[in-house]
Structure 1
Amino acid sequence: MSLNHTDQMHILKDILTNHQDDCSGTVAECEQMERLVKSLMVNSNVDQDIKTLLTDIYSYSQQGKYTQHLDAHINEHQDQLSQWISEIDQFS
């Protein structure tokens, strides 16, 4: 069963919320966010206005995947995480 873009946005929001709440995460979560964002970026059903947000989340995921201190990376992005979660809520 494939996920539609709404399901993908919910999963993306869940991962971001976990990063925000727990101030920690895993490389696997960063990789999952990358896959979700890539899929959403090519989906014509996704609002063009959210694609900038998705680009920012993709960059965050890439940086997180390659950092040696993922928890510190997540802590440094707490404000952005809050903003992204709020923006996803507006589009969902």
Structure 2
Amino acid sequence: MPLSQEHQISLLKDLLNNQQSDCCGSVAECEQVERLVKSLMANGNYSQDAISFLTEIYEYSQNGVNASNLDEHISSHLEQLSQWVENMDSLS
């Protein structure tokens, strides 16, 4: 059964929050973030601002999948992670 949009947003927030608070993550988490963002963008009717930050999250995750040091990649994006989590409230 597919996740509702509300559950997708909640899961995405949780994943980003965990990466921010732990300063680490896994390739599988990055791939999950990519799938969630793709689904939200395909099925949502969002403002240009929302599409912009969702695109940033998607690119962050793609770069994380390909990063030679994922923890360093996450650590270098802590400020953006915080901002993205705050922005998620505008999607609900």
TM-score between both structures, scaled by the size of structure 2: 0.92
Instruction: Find runs of 4+ consecutive structure 1 residues off by over 6 angstroms.
Output: none
Percent sequence identity over aligned pairs: 53
**Structure 2: gaps of 5 or more residues:** none
Over the aligned positions, Cα root-mean-square deviation in angstroms equals: 1.1
Question: 1:5–1:46: 8 Å Cα contact kept in structure 2?
Answer: no
**Structure 1: gaps of 5 or more residues:** none
Aligned equivalents of 1:65 and 1:58: distance in 2? 11
Q: Where in structure 2 are the equivalents of 1:1-92 lying within 5 Å?
A: 1-43=1-43, 45-48=44-47, 49-92=49-92
Size of the alignment, in residue pairs?
91
TM-score between both structures, scaled by the size of structure 1: 0.92
Question: 2:9–2:91: 8 Å Cα contact kept in structure 1?
Answer: no
